[in-house]
Structure 1
């Protein structure tokens, strides 16, 4: 089985490309004569050149010069030269890092570009490590067109984006995180490529299934090699060569191939002699993918969606699925994990969504009040600090941080940031126009943007100012928010994390309008109870001194946790 990308072999490097639709392929190494590549069967072309790390190269097919789709680095952007990288050259300082168990995770999601690149984020790690956060999750860092992008328009999955830093600067970030006791997760995108810089279709059309439609075009053909190998090897590269602790797989429902997902998880677990954590984003709410030996957890959009309705009263678009009896839906979420377990979804044209999940442990779900999607996919990128009052947001945050699901927060949450997080790209000409107008058109179904003139106020994703406005800034009560998070996370690590293994639901019930109480039997036999009241009327809650509280337990805009 042929692998993707260059391999250093002593004083030379072996290059390979899968180009089944090409009649011939030439290797061009900067500063050397072109070298005709040899057909190696099944669409592969190979050549070996007497060059090593740092060599710039590309492939020529007819009159088209293309980068290596498995380039480990680029020079000059996604249309420029690929660069040979020696993954063995970095001198790891935290070589004895053993990782953290899944139950210990408190994850903070962040965008590397907004943090000043790999080096800028590395400088922030001491503060993050001291906050009670135990893991950072990086939005995709692989190469994309331009210098700024969410990361979900990547086209070279193996190459860290030049605007973020070098491969060794990414390693240094991971190295420093491990030295401070912080795990590093990476978001990877295997369901599509971005619209600028993906050349695969020009010489390997079978990399895609044109008859299997996704929002981004034909589905990737992960049902067969070499495409399947392309993505599995990519996952293994991040885990081996960069010592990433876990991967979050973006929108796997758009891959629509459970066999591939299961095979990838199995190979990753069999190939590594250390624990790694694998997390899915899966709109299908498919509990089977969370079986032992497969994926550790799924991002639980249901948790976010129902709490967003309770906090803001919004009912547009997908929030319509959670608008009726939201407190009962939240009770189900806290008891069983998924809210949708096969019921018809208004947002999915009445089609059933989800499978039964009550048998799964609470740690099979990653819970969040905000993330890049749920803020950035709003037309104006508003955070909850701008959409609800601080007391209610603190109450919901208590549920998030002390509940037994794995909590994920978004960069800026701990500082009560009110800065928007907008959708940003760096496209040009006709593509820029299409992205801008397409973005605005997406919001025509929202009542607030039904008027075309109001849609014109939606920020242009390609404007540099849209990126700059998205930088995290402290909110007006940043110190208060930091203390609040630190206190709750200290309680989580002292009382919740040690007893998460073996925790099971003991049920949840509705206490009143926008009010619920949920209970869990922890691994040591203690009972954890959390009561949340986001309504306007007091409700009855248990007696006794709570472990933590926001407001007066049972009163409007309150939350409390008890452990006994």
Structure 2
């Protein structure tokens, strides 16, 4: 089976032979195509700032760049592959050359989602798409049903989180060729694994973004962002810009047969138009979903805008499938560590109540004032939404990597605490997300790393250390100097997972806990999630550190959580129905008597029509 997405820009093979090159460059009067470093071919200017040229002698593997009137050579912004990194020439790719073997794959319903976030470069010592393939059987056995891959779009250098990409259509050559990424997707589908990809539509990285030189209309200076002028989704001459990103969505979903995308930080997208770009992207998802495929649009949105998560009366998704729920991470973190610095301060006063609200209503902040944001109101009501709309997690790349030393939660909290919060994460009705290595309590940190050129590298290192100067522990310049240099290769190497650890204590026990919990989820929870609506949730807070929650699942059964996050024994109502899971510090006698020792969790399920 062949797959190809037809784009109105970039380099496309023609049916008659040769290649059609097309570039939107409204800021210049002329463009010259440099082909294979020897031919200089003037392109034809058409309307609305477009330049195009069909070259009969160009073929698969041809290298090409665009020369601007001032002599600057730039890569194709819609390049499918840039083998010599972001400053080098682009390569003509034949998308139909790859033979897919997953013709029967239609994806998986979202209720089945158990997500595993990974960074291709540090997930395995190989640091490549092939390295991920070698671990797919392990992930399937673990109980994962979806990979979420941090951005792979071409970034500067050999090491980067991926959010500094500048060529959104080109998988980075450090990980392999485009067909290698397709092999990964194909292999994942053979094992029943969905593949989601992080994409960045709110900015381009600081190195290698040449669009300003020939397409200044790509940006709208009316909106300012941390990265400069915003991408032009709502200003004059924006149609080509919007098409660029809409086609990027379709490119990944169709040509790479991905099962979904996570849109990074949409709160940083500036767009006053209607429909806005998020709504237009949702239409693109619907066009693919209509072809009998499950494809999922996931958001990161600090503003807690429930409007993008709405469902129709028939549970048909209007826009996004789900959103990363940062609120629940922050509550978990405060409960597990007692930290209250920075944004954790908004959750420190009543973490147990806010955890219950997240588990039963989605967001903790649904329009309330945020003290951390100087009293600004944050969020929209979300209690009407189904649990499936909120992705829960204890860790992710941001929440670990934005710490000075990249400590994971298991480095900060005791095993007893970790067992309790992990049991809540993996058996709650919301889809859970694990960050690579979390499932075996890896000792490796996840630090911020990059590989910028010398002009930018020093500024990034100094800026990174300056960010932490407002924290008491880093008020001393000497303390800030100990923060790892993001550009140092050693910083990246420290993050590469050590897979030999999974066979040894204490990592094996943590891994077995995750496997057991995900097996219980697959047996007891997942089959009952479809059709549950918001679950008619009930919350009973028993003390400042203990609560009891209940949901009605899609088959009418009642799922109950009893949890004690305090240091004292708490009296609770005896378990009703079948006990699904209890933490290792609970025995059947205590559970039946309704006594919960410190940091204990019990899940039970009552079948039938009970009120």
Quickly say closer, same or farther: Cα 1:348–1:4, change in 2 above 3 A. farther
Query: Could you tell me which of 543, 546, 549 is aligned with 2:579?
Result: 546
Query: Could you tell me which of 466, 487, 490 is aligned with 2:519?
Result: 490
1:513–1:537 CA contact under 8 A, matched in 2:
no
> Residues of 2 paired with 1:533 and 1:454: CA distance?
37
Query: Could you tell me which of 69, 80, 83 is aligned with 1:72?
Result: 80
Quickly say closer, same or farther: Cα 1:392–1:2, change in 2 above 3 A. closer
Alignment of 1:324-343 (within 5 A): 324-343=349-368
2:288–2:295 CA contact under 8 A, matched in 1:
no
Q: Deviations over 1:289-333 (max 9, x none)?
A: 012321001100001001100100111111111111111111111
> Residues of 2 paired with 1:456 and 1:8: CA distance?
52
| Alignment pair present for 1:54 and 2:61 | yes
> Residues of 2 paired with 1:20 and 1:522: CA distance?
55
Q: Which residue of structure 1 lines up, in the alignment, with residue 245 of structure 2?
A: 231
Q: Which residue of structure 1 lines up, in the alignment, with residue 33 of structure 2?
A: 27
> Residues of 2 paired with 1:417 and 1:532: CA distance?
26
Q: Which residue of structure 1 lines up, in the alignment, with residue 295 of structure 2?
A: 276
Partner of 2:135, secondary structure, is: helix
Alignment of 1:62-211 (within 5 A): 62=69, 63-114=71-122, 115=124, 116-211=127-222
1:143–1:161 CA contact under 8 A, matched in 2:
yes
| Alignment pair present for 1:5 and 2:30 | no
1:396–1:532 CA contact under 8 A, matched in 2:
no
Q: Which residue of structure 2 lines up, in the alignment, with residue 319 of structure 1?
A: 344
> Residues of 2 paired with 1:81 and 1:8: CA distance?
17
> Residues of 1 paired with 2:361 and 2:537: CA distance?
10
> Residues of 2 paired with 1:509 and 1:136: CA distance?
35
Q: Which residue of structure 1 lines up, in the alignment, with residue 556 of structure 2?
A: 525
Partner of 1:425, secondary structure, is: coil
| Alignment pair present for 1:265 and 2:282 | yes
1:335–1:506 CA contact under 8 A, matched in 2:
yes
Q: Which residue of structure 1 lines up, in the alignment, with residue 3 of structure 2?
A: none
4+ residue runs over 3 A deviation:
none
2:7–2:247 CA contact under 8 A, matched in 1:
no
> Residues of 2 paired with 1:226 and 1:407: CA distance?
37
Query: Could you tell me which of 384, 388, 392 is aligned with 2:409?
Result: 384
Q: Which residue of structure 2 lines up, in the alignment, with residue 346 of structure 1?
A: 371
Stretches of structure 2 lacking an aligned partner (at least 5 in a row): 1-5, 311-316, 607-611
1:306–1:322 CA contact under 8 A, matched in 2:
yes
> Residues of 1 paired with 2:79 and 2:321: CA distance?
29
Quickly say closer, same or farther: Cα 1:368–1:505, change in 2 above 3 A. farther
2:231–2:270 CA contact under 8 A, matched in 1:
no
Aligned length: 564
Q: Deviations over 1:165-210 (max 9, x none)?
A: 0000000000000001111010000000111111001111111112
Partner of 1:546, secondary structure, is: strand
Q: Which moved more, 1:57-66 or 1:541-550?
A: 541-550
Deviation at 1:276, TM superposition (A): 0.3
> Residues of 2 paired with 1:448 and 1:546: CA distance?
44
Q: Deviations over 1:343-378 (max 9, x none)?
A: 111222211110000100011000000000000001
1:336–1:505 CA contact under 8 A, matched in 2:
no
Alignment of 1:395-474 (within 5 A): 395-473=420-498, 474=501
Partner of 1:419, secondary structure, is: coil
2:249–2:284 CA contact under 8 A, matched in 1:
no
Q: Which residue of structure 2 lines up, in the alignment, with residue 240 of structure 1?
A: 254
Q: Which residue of structure 1 lines up, in the alignment, with residue 314 of structure 2?
A: none
> Residues of 2 paired with 1:316 and 1:4: CA distance?
47
Q: TM-score, normalized by length of structure 1? A: 0.98
1:342–1:355 CA contact under 8 A, matched in 2:
yes
Deviation at 1:270, TM superposition (A): 1.6
> Residues of 2 paired with 1:468 and 1:148: CA distance?
10
Q: Deviations over 1:44-91 (max 9, x none)?
A: 110111212211101000210000001000021100010111111111
> Residues of 1 paired with 2:406 and 2:379: CA distance?
28
Deviation at 1:32, TM superposition (A): 4.5
Partner of 2:479, secondary structure, is: helix
> Residues of 2 paired with 1:455 and 1:27: CA distance?
48
Q: Which moved more, 1:402-411 or 1:43-52?
A: 43-52
Q: Which moved more, 1:447-456 or 1:34-43?
A: 447-456
Computed over aligned residues only, the root mean square deviation of the Cα atoms, in angstroms, reads 1.4
| Alignment pair present for 1:562 and 2:604 | yes
Query: Could you tell me which of 565, 574, 582 is aligned with 1:534?
Result: 565
Q: TM-score, normalized by length of structure 2? A: 0.90
1:528–1:563 CA contact under 8 A, matched in 2:
yes
Partner of 2:169, secondary structure, is: strand
